[in-house]
Amino acid sequence: MINDYKIAVIGCGNLGLSIVHGLLADKNVKAENITATRRNVQALKHLADAGVTTTSDNLEAIKSAELIVLGLKPYKIMDVLKDLAPHFDSSKHILVSLATGVHIADIQRIVGEDIPVYRAMPNTAADVETSMTCVCGNKDSARDLQVVLDCFSAVGDTIVIDESLMDSATVLGACGIAYVLRFIRAMIQGGIEIGFDAKTASHIATQTVKGAAELLIQRNQHPEYEIDKVTTPRGCTIAGLNEMEHNGFSSALIKDEGHPTVDIKALLQQYPVLGICYGAQLACHQYGGVVAASDKREYGRAGLHVTRDDLFHSVEEASQVWMSHGDTIKNIPDEMTIIAHTDNIPVAAYKMNSEPHPFYGIQFHPE
C-alpha cells in the first residue's frame, strides 16, 4: 500500500533523515513519491540527487502529500502546525508526529478532530532498515493505521501500543540506541585494553552484540536463559557479570533520568497487575515506598521463602528463583504486604489489595 502513497517528511533532522534513507532503501517506495523539508535545504542535496523532492517550504510539501510525517522538535511542532492547520484536508491527509511528549489531543486541538493523527517513535536504525517503531493513534480507521504501519515497516519492525506508553517507548527504543552504543563502545575499549587493536575489537564487539540480539529474536527466549548457558561455576563470565552489577550496570540503566514509567493506579482501575523486578520497584516507589541500592546485590539463583498467599499457592518453600538486580525495596508503604523474602533481601514479593483490582510485585524473574 505504501508504494502508492505520497509521503512528506517535515523537518529532516537526524531522525527524519534516517526515515527517508530507510524508505529509499525499500524497493517498493519510489523516490519521486517522497518530499523532504528542512530550513537548510542544501543539507538535503544527497536526497535530491536520489530523486526526492526537497524544499524549505512546508506548505508546498504537504500540498501533494497524503502521509505527512512530522519530524519536528517538541518545542517547534506546535508553531509549525498552526501555520499548516488551515491547509490540512481530512479526506486526504494522515498526520504522524515523531515529537516526544506531544500528545495526540494536543495536536488535534490545533488541526481539528477530523484529521487522522498518529504518533510514532522510531529510532535512528531506520537508516539501515532495522528500526523499532512504536505507533499509537486514537482513530478507528484500520486503513489509516495500516498506511502508517506500512510506512514504518519499510524501515524496520513496528508495534501498536497505547499512547500512555509512548514516553516509555521513547526511552526503551529511541534512547535505547544510545545506551546500547555506549555499551558497545565500552566493550571495544575493554578489548583494546586486553590486547586487540581497535578495528579487531570493534569487529568482535559489534558481531557479539548482533549475535546476542539474534539469539533472543530467533529463539524468543528470555536473556537470562541465554546468559545461564555461558555462566559456569567459578568462570570468567559470572565474575564479569557480578562485577558489572557491583558497579551498578543494571541500576544505572533503570535510574536514567527518563526512566520508563507508567501510571499504575490507572492500570489498576482496569486490570489486576503483576510487577516484575523493576515493575515491583516502580509500584513501590509510586505508592510512597523506598527503593535504594541493595546492600547485597543479587545476580543468579536464590531461595524464595514464601508466606502463604494465593499467588504462591503451588510454590514450595525455598523454591529456586532467578534474581538480577542492584537496587532493592527497602520499605513498603502501608497498602502493601510482604509475601516472600530471600536470604539477602527482605522484600522478594508483596501484595497490595487495591480496588478494584490487586497488585502483586515480585523482585525475581519468573519468565
| pLDDT tens-digit series, residues 18-50 | 899 989 988 888 999 999 999 999 999 999 999
- For a pLDDT cut of 90, what percent of the chain falls above it? 49
Compute the Cα dihedral for 253, 256, 262, 263 and give only its sign: positive
pLDDT at 257 over 50: no
Q: Cα 117–119–120 angle (5° rounding)?
A: 140
Q: Does domain 169-254 fall into CATH 3.10.100.10?
A: no
Tell me the average pLDDT across 78-98: 94
User: How crowded is residue 156: how many other Cβ atoms within 10 Å of its Cβ?
Assistant: 20
Q: Distance between CA atoms of 247 and 209, rounded to whole angstroms?
A: 21
What stretch(es) of the chain map to CATH 3.40.50.880?
A: 264-362
Range from 2-6, 18-22, 235-239 that averages highest in pLDDT: 18-22
**Predicted local confidence at residue 37, as pLDDT:** 95
What stretch(es) of the chain map to CATH 3.40.50.720?
A: 2-161
- For cell 499512547, name the residue: 163
Residue 71's Cβ-side half-sphere holds a number of Cα atoms within 13 Å equal to 23
Which cell is 322 given?
532467578
Parallel/antiparallel/unpaired status of strands 290-306 and 319-331: antiparallel
Q: Distance between CA atoms of 254 and 263, rounded to whole angstroms?
A: 17
As its CATH architecture, domain 2-161 has 3-Layer(aba) Sandwich (3.40)
8: confidence class by pLDDT, cuts 50, 70, 90: very high
Range from 130-144, 258-272, 317-331 that averages highest in pLDDT: 130-144
Q: What does the pLDDT look like over 38-83, one tens digit per residue? A: 999 999 999 999 999 999 999 999 998 999 999 998 888 999 999 9
**Predicted local confidence at residue 255, as pLDDT:** 62
pLDDT at 236 over 90: no
What stretch(es) of the chain map to CATH 1.10.3730.10?
A: 169-254
Q: Distance between CA atoms of 187 and 200, rounded to whole angstroms?
A: 12
- Please tell me the pTM assigned to this model: 0.68
Q: Distance between CA atoms of 109 and 112, rounded to whole angstroms?
A: 6
Spatial CA neighbour of 5 closest among 143, 122, 193, 141: 143
Strand-pair partners of 300: 323
Q: Distance between CA atoms of 367 and 350, rounded to whole angstroms?
A: 18
Segment (H or E) for 173: none
Hey, is 280 helix, strand or coil? helix
- 264-362, which class in CATH? alpha beta
- For cell 489509516, name the residue: 144
Q: Distance between CA atoms of 128 and 156, rounded to whole angstroms?
A: 8
